[in-house]
Amino acid sequence: MKKFLSLIVALVLVSAALAGCSTGNGGSGKEASKKGVTTITFWAAPNPTQQAYWKEMADQFTKEHPNIKIKVSPMKESPTSEASIQAAIAGHNAPTMSENINRSFAAELAQSKAIVPLDQLSGWDDVVKARKMDNTIKGWTFSDGHQYVAPLYSNAMLFAWRIDILKKLGYNEPPKTYSEMLDVAKKLKAKYPEKYIWAKADLVDPTAWKRWFDFFMLYHAASNGNNFISGNKWVADDQAGVKVLKLMADLQKQHALLTKKAKDPFETGVGIFTDLGPWTFTMWKDKYPEMQLNKTFVLSTPPVPDDLKSDHAYTFADTKGLVIYAQATKAQQKAALQFMKWVFSHPENDLKLMEKTSLLPARDDLSTNEQFTSYFDKHPELKPYAAEIPYAIPAIDNPKYNDIQTQIGQQAFNPVVQGKIDPKKGWEAMKKAIEGELK
């Protein structure tokens, strides 16, 4: 981690030195506005399909708005896209706007005032309404009350169960509560001693981002969508957190967790439960064609504590969105928001986003809007993800998210999974460590 940070610092310093007195990509002077034309720069994610999508959007927009010129280019990803953005900001070469920003990294940019609070721009409310994001946007609001990221896509993470194996155990649907899950574990080990509930080496890996796909999925469900960190304050639901850890401890005691590396354990039936993102199905189509929805596997929201009373289980959202950079001129910021509103005002643009990139637009009505019906008829496995978007919580809004999430793994989640610490003691150790990070 220290080497990574040192590399970022070095990149920032080099970029700043090379930039000298540059006015930036946005160009606060002549380049930004020529003969009544405002030029804005857009950095797309380092993914060919997303670059193609944004180039198409920019070309269509400029045909209708000849007074705005949009230059689309891919952001650099060496060593990371985040590092390239930080270097550009330090060198006064930031774009006008970019995609590929998650909420945690946005908190770091917002702290340094490198991005614009979108809610302070005239017309932001129209953007939210135009794209039907009234519910989805709530989870994106930052602790200071501002909105810095316009949600682009939301991969509401779900769990998958091997329904073919569950049926052999006497179950016609996946368990919904912790006690039901533990009952499945007991019967699984009795009938198939070599199989496991959850087979995943990441469960004992403290790498920060891996907690998004185990701990946070379970925590958001157990806490009924309660925040974990709000700004620099610990606001986690302690009781819910301990229950999550106890579930993992109980599964470990039943020998229902496999934490050694195994090749495609869910697909091969070694494990019968796993976190699953919507990007998986493209790979399965060629490599595991036998994986069929409602035949081989089913999708499910996270299991919840037995005493939780809720109409719908929350989960973690793998999400990224658009930001506007503070180095842009007021005219450029206005033009950027105008472009954003245009893209989001037309559902057919979100349909193209799915068709070109397989990313799910962050809309409340994604699973109910008739304009998307034909897409989901062709891809029925994606509809449960679309329905879950309003209940999916994005990453924490704290610039120290990497250190905080590392502490979750090191102090609590990993050692509990390994049977090395009591869930309550692990939670308290983790809480103390994180509160230290927040000071």
- Whether residue 415 is preceded by a cis peptide bond, meaning omega within 30 degrees of 0, is no
**Sign of the torsion angle spanned by Cα atoms 251, 254, 256, 260:** positive
Q: What's the rounded mean pLDDT across residues 299-320?
A: 95
Q: What's the rounded mean pLDDT across residues 303-327?
A: 95
SS3 state of residue 267: helix
Our count of domains for the chain comes to 2
Task: Band the pLDDT of 25: cuts 50, 70, 90.
Answer: very low
The Cα–Cα gap between 147 and 157 comes to 23
Residues 149 and 42 in one domain: yes
SS3 state of residue 188: helix
**pLDDT score, position 78:** 82
**pLDDT score, position 21:** 35
286 in any annotated domain: no
Residue 404's contacts (CB-CB under 8 Å, 6 or more residues apart) are: 208, 229, 396, 398, 434, 437, 438
Residues 384 and 408 in one domain: no
294 in any annotated domain: no
Does 307 have pLDDT greater than 80? yes
Q: Which helix (H) or strand (E) holds 151?
A: strand 150-156
**pLDDT score, position 32:** 53
Distances (CA, A) of 267 to 32, 51, 183, 282, 303: 52, 32, 22, 14, 21
Residue 33's contacts (CB-CB under 8 Å, 6 or more residues apart) are: 39, 329, 331
Residues 380 and 340 in one domain: yes
Convert the pLDDT of each residue in 153-188 to its tens digit.
Answer: 999 999 999 999 999 999 999 999 999 999 999 999
SS3 state of residue 44: strand
Does 406 have pLDDT greater than 50? yes
Residues 356 and 425 in one domain: no
Domain of residue 221, CATH code: 3.40.190.10
Residues 94 and 36 in one domain: yes
Long-range contacts of 285-291 (CB under 8 A, 24+ apart): 288/264, 291/267
Does 47 have pLDDT greater than 70? yes
310 in any annotated domain: no
Sort strands 97-101 and 37-44 into parallel, antiparallel or unpaired. parallel
Residues 192 and 241 in one domain: yes
Helix axes 103-111, 81-90, angle to 10 degrees: 20
**Tokens 């939210």, residue located:** 128
Convert the pLDDT of each residue in 242-282 to its tens digit.
Answer: 999 999 999 999 999 999 999 999 999 999 999 999 999 98
User: Which structural domain, as residue segments, surrounds residue 131?
Assistant: 15-155+317-393
Q: What angle do CA 35, 37, 39 make, to 5 degrees?
A: 130
Q: What's the rounded mean pLDDT across residues 320-327?
A: 98
The model carries a pTM of: 0.86
Q: What's the rounded mean pLDDT across residues 222-232?
A: 93
Phi-psi region of 225 (alpha: psi -120 to 50; beta: other; left: phi over 0): left
Give the number of other Cβ atoms within 10 Å of residue 143's Cβ. Answer: 17
Does 359 have pLDDT greater than 60? yes
Tokens of 61: 């927009």
Residues 29 and 41 in one domain: yes
307 in any annotated domain: no
Residues 363 and 422 in one domain: no
Entry field: residues in the chain: 439
- Strand spans (E) along 242-390: 257-258, 271-276, 298-300, 315-324
**pLDDT score, position 77:** 86
SS3 state of residue 405: helix
Residues 260 and 360 in one domain: no
Q: Give the distance from CA 418 to its chain's centroid.
A: 27
Residues 405 and 267 in one domain: yes
6 in any annotated domain: no
Average pLDDT, the chain: 91
Residues 128 and 167 in one domain: no
Residues 150 and 24 in one domain: yes
Best CA proximity match to 319, nearest among 221, 216, 226, 236: 216
Does 19 have pLDDT greater than 50? no
